[in-house]
Amino acid sequence: MALLASGALPQNPPHTLPSLQRWLAHMSSFSPSETKDFPPHSLSCKMAEELSQLVHKSIKMTPESLKPDKPSQGSKGGEHSKGKSGKFTLKTPKGTRDYGPTEMAVRRQVFDIIYSVFHMHGAVEIETPVFELKEVLTGKYGEDSKLIYDLEDQGGEILSMRYDLTVPFARYVAMNKITNIKRYHVARVYRRDNPAMTRGRYREFYQCDFDIAGQYDAMIPDAECVQLVHQVLSKLNLGDFTIKINHRKILDGVFGSCGVPAEKFRPICSAVDKLDKSPWEEVRKEMVEEKGLNESVADLIGDYVKFSGREELIDRLKSDERLENSADAQAGLNDLSLLFQYCKSLGCDDHVVFDMGLARGLDYYTGVIYEAVLMAGQNRGEEGSVGSVAGGGRYDGLVGMFDPKKKTVPCVGVSFGIERLFTIQEQKQRAENQKLRSTQTEVFVAAACKGMVHERLKLIQLLHEAGIKAESSYKNNPKLLNQLQYAEDSQIPLVVLIGESEVEAGVVKIREVTTREEATVKREELVATLKQRLAPK
């Protein structure tokens, strides 16, 4: 049934008015020039009156729900002050937002593509609670732990909101003593970070995670993760992308060979992680001044982290004089060689780059790490890379942190940052002037005269019974033009129209909304005719 504002008349878009007049005139067998004063028409009720009102009246209608979604972004949108309301500020919590119908339609598109790729790989789905015992999250995120949302102690357990889906997954695997699983999990996570919502950075945001847990042969699951990222980004069709890869053992090998003491590997790794946002000079400064690294050691590292390439770089580093004797570096380089080979067989090596400046923030990675960045879209007026849209890597020790016997399960996985993808998809559709529907309605049941409400409801029942998505107005006697306008605005392809004469004759009129062609069919042929017209061509 319809969302027509009470007694309102169509306003937007006004350019449809002449065509509606033409159609009405046609139905009434009058030419457009005669529309000002109507004699009774073929449908036995007062369309003429309505149209006359429409032509002479100041017309206003745009149901709120049909307007583009208003941004309701935290403290920015829709707010009114405490003073005015006398009560409280009407807003969503800082760093969060509502998603309206159009935004949800875009998101569903992105989700459907990601789900289809997850299913392509035979992944199962799991779901974990939105909060965990606080101690489950403790000691997993390093410095970032300060960003965790805690729940109030209301008597009982001490809980925190999940910070990612990886730690709950590891908890799930350990708790259920699972030795192997390939699962996906799409859900929101929570970080008390400084939000930058215009850039798609929120405190509450979706992660779409795909992980493979189990003791398998080297690099086969890791290559599958690269392939999956390649497939998702190709199918989303958001322009060129690069999948950067590196290996924690190579980084550790470089650090060791350059003279970094072992206890400083992770802090120095954190510094390298900032290379995607800061120039080397700043990163070097952090290494030397904050983390107490010898200047010459920092400079040696600086030479390595600038490297980026493919197999030739791997080969060169294998015989690099400093790395030649590092077991860690050699193990990591061998892994990457193998990874490139598998990616070739999987047809996903073309966007892959070995980038020694890639470090990833989280402490729990132990092997291959990767990150996908979208290159700027010219149609989006951006320059360079628009930032990371997926990231992940191998974390062989995390499950063991939850096992009393420290028995671990090797894991590798990837996480898509859906908010960025979704912002970019929205920009793309805006640029291409696509108007996305937020409903799936196929048929609007309209009445051309009063007293038809039960007849309309019976038709709705008939269509629903046949699996046809159908709506009608919630008014007893809705104005015909409002009904047609609603169908047009909502991009509903077909209108089924009845008047007294149609009911008497046991027929209905079917109207194609875009072409405005109509045909009269017998009621008993209605369902079959509609199904035929709605079938994909």
Query: Smallest distance, Å, CB 113 to a copy of itself?
Result: 12
Mark out the alpha helices in 192-287 (DSSP H runs).
220-236, 248-258, 265-273, 280-285
Within residues 253-312, the interface with a copy of itself by CB under 8 A covers none
Within residues 132-151, the interface with a copy of itself by CB under 8 A covers 132-133, 135-136, 149-151
Contact window for a copy of itself (CB under 8 A) among 18-26, 117-125, 289-297, 421-429: 117-125
Report the alpha-carbon distance of residue 502 to residue 505 in Å, rounded.
Answer: 5
Report the alpha-carbon distance of residue 446 to residue 2 in Å, rounded.
Answer: 10
Tell me the HSE value of 527 on the side-chain side, using a 13 A CA sphere. 12
Q: Name residue 487's amino acid.
A: A
Residue from 16, 59, 63, 291 binding a copy of itself (CB under 8 A): 63
Residue closer to a copy of itself by CB (options 254, 445) is 445
Contact window for a copy of itself (CB under 8 A) among 31-39, 118-126, 297-305, 423-431: 118-126
Within residues 357-396, the interface with a copy of itself by CB under 8 A covers none
Contact window for a copy of itself (CB under 8 A) among 46-54, 81-89, 273-281, 372-380: 81-89
- Token representation of residue 384: 């360079």
β-pair type (443-447, 411-417): unpaired
Residue closer to a copy of itself by CB (options 301, 459) is 459
Instruction: Give backbone dihedrals phi and psi of 533, rounded to 5 degrees, phi first.
Output: -70, -30
Within residues 487-516, the interface with a copy of itself by CB under 8 A covers 490
Residue from 38, 172, 210, 241 binding a copy of itself (CB under 8 A): 172
Contact window for a copy of itself (CB under 8 A) among 185-193, 354-362, 493-501, 525-533: 185-193
Residue closer to a copy of itself by CB (options 12, 308) is 12
* Phi-psi domain of 302 (left: phi exceeds 0; alpha: psi -120 through 50; beta: other): alpha
Residue 261: partners with Cβ closer than 8 Å, 6 or more residues away: none
Contact window for a copy of itself (CB under 8 A) among 46-54, 64-72, 374-382, 427-435: 64-72
Q: Name residue 443's amino acid.
A: V
Are the beta carbons of 393 and 412 closer than 8 angstroms? yes
Are the beta carbons of 63 and 69 closer than 8 angstroms? no
Contact window for a copy of itself (CB under 8 A) among 59-67, 193-201, 324-332, 363-371: 59-67
Report the alpha-carbon distance of residue 436 to residue 438 in Å, rounded.
Answer: 6
Residue from 28, 35, 72, 246 binding a copy of itself (CB under 8 A): 72
Binding mask 201-230 for a copy of itself (x = CB under 8 A): ---x-------x-xxxx--xx-xx--x---
Give the CA diameter of the chain.
98
Within residues 411-440, the interface with a copy of itself by CB under 8 A covers 438-440
